Structure 1
Amino acid sequence: MLDSPTRENVPAGQPFSFDPLTRRASIEARDPGFYQDPYPVFEAIRSETSHFYWEEYGLWCFLGAADLQALFRDKRFGREILHVATREELGIPEIPERLKPFTDIDALSMLDREPPAHTRLRGLVNRAFVSRQVEKLRPRIAALAHDLIDRFAGDGEVELIEAFATPIPVTVIAELLGVPVERAPDLLDWSHKMVAMYQFDRTRAVEDAAVAAAQEFVAFLKEIVAERRLAPADDLLSTLIAAEEAGERLSEDELIATCILLLNAGHEATVHAIGNGVKAILESGLEPSAMFGAEKAAEAVAEECLRFDPPLHFFSRYVLEDLDYAGLPLKKGDRVGLLLGAANRDPARFAEPARFDPFRPPATHFAFGGGIHFCVGAPLARLELEVALPILFERLPGLRIARPPLYRDSYHFHGLAALNLAW
């Protein structure tokens, strides 16, 4: 590791080195010393610079709230690149045939599209996630939270991720979309295997598992789509099947890709948001009953949970043209990394950012990204937190952490492997 004044701010054993002269850092994202608590590393780097070159990822990364706000909205950056350049021009290798069952679906996701395709796809989905539509789900979320707590309230202990944090979002998104809730174990398994493709330094085994999961997921959804074509129901899937935008229907592949994105994103991030949020509340030293006592308190607590320890930490964008940003000469086809978790701890925007404080003045955080790719499901995720967290703490007074919680081996998607609680 390189000697650097930044090392003084980082706990011993962190897999990290940084050269302030070149602004190049080596951070081993798969090392537990990092992914269990990545924030000290980024604060150490922030003390020297607002952006750095992450050697292992091979791209420039930005830490600050102002930079992320600008980069999310800068149209010279985008989520896809092959609409403005060829693979040959950029030196991007062809995708191996063995990965195409995964990548062909992934490439059709609106998360990885730019206008006009992104505009068309998001417009079709957005109407189901506007706040007035989502608000109708409040009673269902509350009833589900109470039902889940009923199952373990008498036990005096629980592993919260499996028993509470996971069933709420997966049930709600399955019901909203219109897929059988009893298939939740399959949905979770497919989602975990597909999301693993985005982690750093993935293995061949991870790739093979993701491809198999994608194929099984597609086959499952094609059966459901065929059923809905014959017998439409009051659900989002039926709406998407029937929808037209500017005279153009979704292709079936786009429909399947959109459903996979909504099912995966609709629960994966919210599971982590609930788990991370409960952990943050319990470790804060604040009294939960005081936290949730005031009007609009649940909304403020949910926002602070999302800011303090968000479920998504990394979002990349392609450079769409040769340009200069923040003194960096960037070439078409380069990628930049936007570090959402680090920006949420930016002291230029948040006073005492490493302190959990639900009473802090409102300020824009980046848990849901920004720009045209701002999370379409943000109103639903917020509602699930606002409803579920107060119910949990009201039903289980004296809630405490029973064993030290550990995060999963996944830097991008920052969430707990388990959260063992007692009361």
Structure 2
Amino acid sequence: MKLDKAARRLSLDPRDPVFYADPYRAYARLHAEAPAVLWEEYGHPVFLAHADVNRLLRDKRFGREILHVATREELGLPEPAAHTPRFDAIDAHSMLEREPPVHTRLRTLVNRAFVSRRVEALRPAIADLAHALVDGFPSGAPFDLLAAYATPIPVRVIARMLGVPEAEAPRLLDWSHRMVAMYAFGRTREVEEDADAAAGAFADFVRGHVAQRRGHPGDDLLSVLVAAEEEGARLSEDELVSTAILLLNAGHEATVHALGNAVRTILETCGATGVDPRALFRDAATTERTVEECLRFDPPLHMFTRYALTDVEESGFSLRKGERIGLVLGATGRDPRANRDPDRFDPDREAPAHTAFGAGIHFCIGAPLARLEMQVALPILFERCPNLALAERPRVRDAYHFHGLETLMVRT
């Protein structure tokens, strides 16, 4: 890590194992010396302070897309790559990548599936699934908790919400992992072609289920989206497919890592202090506080970008229309100006400040579901497995943007 404090320039390879294994040491120095800095490897300014990130996520001078206010020619952007047309087609219609009024229309349609009463109604099913998974844990030998517990819960729940067979979970996971690799720093041509192939297969899968719903609608989100598409003007089939894929991807990818990171944090902290992890989940209030502290302390999503929608001055940086900024969501919870003693995991912390789910119009639509899954799955895990312990040092994935573990080997 090379930091020129005076020039506010940072050189730090996001794929350096020392960094992505524990980015919080770098964040601590940047919070102290340069919480807004030009990160040379990314080629744009990044912001780490909680106040700045929270503000910029809501700032209408910045957005997730740019071609609604400028042409490629005007911005000097190249044409889309010829080898990723299927991935780009899905990305182009994704709610996550659109700004109002398109974003508003898409989010309004999807939001009905994530209202609090519908999410809360999933609590018994999540609990049943968690208990069934614990029942299947191997005895007497170490096993990977990510594969055995943290992954199946969110992927099966979001598949159930959408009306996709839970038995398809392995294929959904494979397609999702290959597509998400497109957001990694320093991706290769091979990664891009593989992501495009996965996007094509995923889209064909969704279109097949859409065709089934046209004649046989059910009580699921895919049927709701099909009905909206058939009403005309509200949702095109391309938007329907992109929305379903976004929800399947986002509905599990971050939560898998949020659960894995939380278990690792709790086991390491309680192992060092001698506290029984079950004490962190005594009742609903302590469970909610513990989950929020886990999300603050080691969140799954670390970098989110925005385009400048006009020429703008921000925090001493002169940005031209179309240039990007990076908002380091993973750093805001460790900001000492937002949280006292931020590098200490404190389950009793009142209202920990973080941006794990973003903010503004792109605030994670699935946040209530992710919180519920953690609030149900973590207490059941530690109640059913009071002797749960790490079997080896957890290995962090080489994927800075999605901060999570490769494996979480434990024994019961």
TM-score under structure 2 normalisation? 0.97
SS in 2 for 1:350: coil
How far did 1:215 drift?
0.5
Check conservation: 1:102, 1:214, Cα contact below 8 A: yes
Q: Give yes or no for the alignment of 1:362 onto 2:357.
A: no
1:115 equivalent in structure 2:
100
1:63 equivalent in structure 2:
48
CA distance in 1: counterparts of 2:284 and 2:227, whole angstroms: 41
2:139 equivalent in structure 1:
154
How far did 1:154 drift?
3.2
Q: Which moved more, 1:264-273 or 1:18-27?
A: 18-27
Q: Equivalent of 1:43, from 14, 17, 28?
A: 28
Q: 1:245 to 1:321 in 2, by over 3 A?
A: farther
CA distance in 1: counterparts of 2:230 and 2:92, whole angstroms: 20
Q: Which moved more, 1:251-260 or 1:277-286?
A: 277-286
Amino acid at match of 2:373: E
How far did 1:243 drift?
2.1
Alignment map for 1:264-413 (pairs within 5 Å): 264-285=249-270, 286-413=275-402
CA distance in 1: counterparts of 2:327 and 2:203, whole angstroms: 30
2:187 equivalent in structure 1:
202
Check conservation: 2:62, 2:308, Cα contact below 8 A: yes
How far did 1:323 drift?
1.3
SS in 1 for 2:3: strand
SS in 2 for 1:318: strand
SS in 2 for 1:296: helix
SS in 1 for 2:325: strand
Deviations 1:375-398 (A, max 9, x none): 000000000000000000000012
The count of residues paired between Structure 1 and Structure 2 equals: 408
2:75 equivalent in structure 1:
90
Structure 1, unmatched stretches of 5+, are 1-15
How far did 1:244 drift?
6.5
Q: Give yes or no for the alignment of 1:259 onto 2:248.
A: no
Q: 1:259 to 1:131 in 2, by over 3 A?
A: same
Check conservation: 2:158, 2:248, Cα contact below 8 A: yes
Check conservation: 2:229, 2:237, Cα contact below 8 A: no
1:53 equivalent in structure 2:
38
Q: Give yes or no for the alignment of 1:99 onto 2:84.
A: yes
Share of identical aligned residues, percent? 60
Deviations 1:151-202 (A, max 9, x none): 0163453210000000000000001001111111110000000000000000
Structure 2, unmatched stretches of 5+, are none
TM-score under structure 1 normalisation? 0.94
1:12 equivalent in structure 2:
none
SS in 1 for 2:56: helix
How far did 1:295 drift?
4.2
2:196 equivalent in structure 1:
211
Check conservation: 2:296, 2:352, Cα contact below 8 A: no
How far did 1:296 drift?
1.3
Amino acid at match of 1:226: A
Check conservation: 2:299, 2:403, Cα contact below 8 A: yes
CA distance in 2: counterparts of 1:363 and 1:246, whole angstroms: 43
Deviations 1:4-52 (A, max 9, x none): xxxxxxxxxxxx1111121111111112111101111121122212200
Check conservation: 1:401, 1:421, Cα contact below 8 A: yes
Amino acid at match of 1:71: L
Runs of 4+ in 1 over 6 A off after TM superposition: 244-247
1:193 equivalent in structure 2:
178
Deviations 1:257-279 (A, max 9, x none): 00000000000000000000000
CA distance in 2: counterparts of 1:272 and 1:371, whole angstroms: 23
2:154 equivalent in structure 1:
169
Q: 1:368 to 1:21 in 2, by over 3 A?
A: same
Amino acid at match of 1:192: H
Check conservation: 1:27, 1:56, Cα contact below 8 A: yes
RMSD: 1.3
2:118 equivalent in structure 1:
133
Amino acid at match of 2:27: F
SS in 1 for 2:406: strand
CA distance in 1: counterparts of 2:376 and 2:266, whole angstroms: 15
Alignment map for 1:63-82 (pairs within 5 Å): 63-82=48-67
